[in-house]
Structure 1
Amino acid sequence: MATQFEIDNALMAGMAYRSTRADINRFPLPQGWSEIPLSYVTLPSGFEAVSFQRGSEIIISYSGTDFTDFTGDWIKANIPLAFGFSSDQLREAALYYLQVKEANPGATISFTGHSLGGGLAALMGVFFDRPAVTFDQAPFAAAASIAVRDDLIGYLNTKGYTTPSLMAFVPELFSYDPYASDTDPTLDRLHNITGYFVQGEILQALQPALGVLGFQSMLAQNSTGLDFLGKDLHSQTLLTAFLENDAFRAITFKLPELLKMVFDEALYARDPSDKVNPQRNFLDHLIRHQFGVTGSFAADAMLDRFTSDLQKVAQDGGFTLTNT
């Protein structure tokens, strides 16, 4: 079962999808956290991030892939990082971290993100020796190298952070040594990275060849009739729903066509990234009402109530989605 902190991270990972989401389908802010004013950034490279605070805790959330942004998210992030090279978005993620750290001395900072954002969060976690909770993490393990570390140092030098100042401010960046982990497993810092992925999501097939960082738990599900590649299952909204209510995940084993219906645009699925003609997407609507949206409506446990109704449908002797 997911902890409340992990669920909070899932919501904040979803909140980083801001430039690509209509207001009515944006993720809600988890209770007890606030967005740091002016912390949201979006850059021409496709990089997008935002930070949240609860007392002395800060979570930096990096946005995931925009599948329509081939130049930014693919050429400048996913492809080079997957094959062990640095990228503009990774450099900007490091600079963003230093700026947040500098503006909040004494804060305890960790990282989160989904997909590409999860891959960036994981790399930040190992390079800067900080915790990261990732979701459907992109397979960037090859980029956790000394060469990429050195590239980050060189880039930060051009942004006003001299090598001596970096050694004083973030000495952990210089002590990173994944190759020494043969004698001391803690030196690769993989213990900092945890997370979840949905069984069958599009990036799972790449894990054996390219590799993800840290310990990732699979959220098993049993769905039929979805897209062949697993793009539907690569949904931070779906993953968050599974973490928040494990019974919702479990019900897919009794109702294998449930998610097919949830993602069916002929029913109530809508493109959450449509900002021209925005319409409420059913799954996002459940999440928003489950947690509540500050200034709009209070939490009303809509996902829990929906799941309870599904359990009644699926129980022995009850109706099922295959009844005639």
Structure 2
Amino acid sequence: MSTGKIVLALDGMGGDHAPDVVVNGADIARERHPGTSFLLFGDEARLKALVDKRKGLAQVLEIVPAEDAVLAGDKPSFALRRRRKSSMWLAVEAAAQGRADTVVSAGNTGALLAISMFAMRMLDGADRPALASFMPTARGESVMLDLGANLECDADNLAQFAVMGSVFAQILLGLDKPKVGLLNVGSEELKGHEEVRQAAAWLRREDSPVSFHGFVEGNDIGAGVADVVVTDGFTGNIALKSIEGTAKLYTQFVRDAFRTSTLAKLGYLFASGAWSKLRMRVDPRRYNGGVFLGLNGVCVKSHGGTDALGFAYAIGVAVDLVRYEYKSKLVEGLARLREISSAAEAPAASLQATGGTA
């Protein structure tokens, strides 16, 4: 575990409610994570006015002027070409160049991914970044990836995501050997596309860098059957939005039910303590902070519409990834995966060289 001072680069102008949420979130995080400091990028005059209202925040925060900002409607290619003086670009650049240990932004997701890939590059052994986050389950919490960064993935990508997710779960959920599952249309070994079956074959090996559970289905996600659920970004994003939509629908149903009569309203009052615990358990702010895994750096994406508390949770994710040396552990896991892949490819190459005979 790293015990040194952690410096975070914050995109002060990213998000639906920036810069207020960013500054207030940093103030909450300052108290939760002593020893951290911040580089805050954005409109100097607006940021200073907000920082000065928070007693003690200026002592651990430096405002770095940025004359531009990435807009919500900017395409990633436009942000790469035309937003090089933006708060997002300068914050990512600070982390990429080592002036900060990590970057946190609530801004445009596509632009943040594109800028981070350009500035940070990929780790050796990782072909693509995967957007990962964690969510509540019947058994606690689980990690899910990819949530939308890659719409199509091959077996190599899925196997790499499994390693990334396993390391992420070790750090964020405190698990020694998190169980990793591949999302599929069934639990049987013959189910699913060839890419999914091939990735499963690599992960099942005795020398696998992850504790592989096997295939999991959609209803296993909320049940917490696996600590890490791996899939392509197309399926993962649909699954995530379906879970979020179902949760909102259920909440609305409950509210409507308690409004049906005076007796129902009284029942709600008597159960108010239990409902408060439930709201806290599923509060999306507690699970705020998606991470682009596989980059040669730590980049955390906060939800654009979050409040100060939610942004503080995203900062907490970034702090933990740095403190518990996520990057070095991921490098080790990816190296072991490459060894497995090379060992699996060697017999196939030998067989081709001999004309297909053993």
Does TM-score exceed 0.5, indicating one fold?
no
TM-score by length of 1: 0.28
Q: Between Structure 1 and Structure 2, which shows a larger proportion of helix residues?
A: 2
Larger RCO (alpha carbons 8 Å, 6+ apart): 2
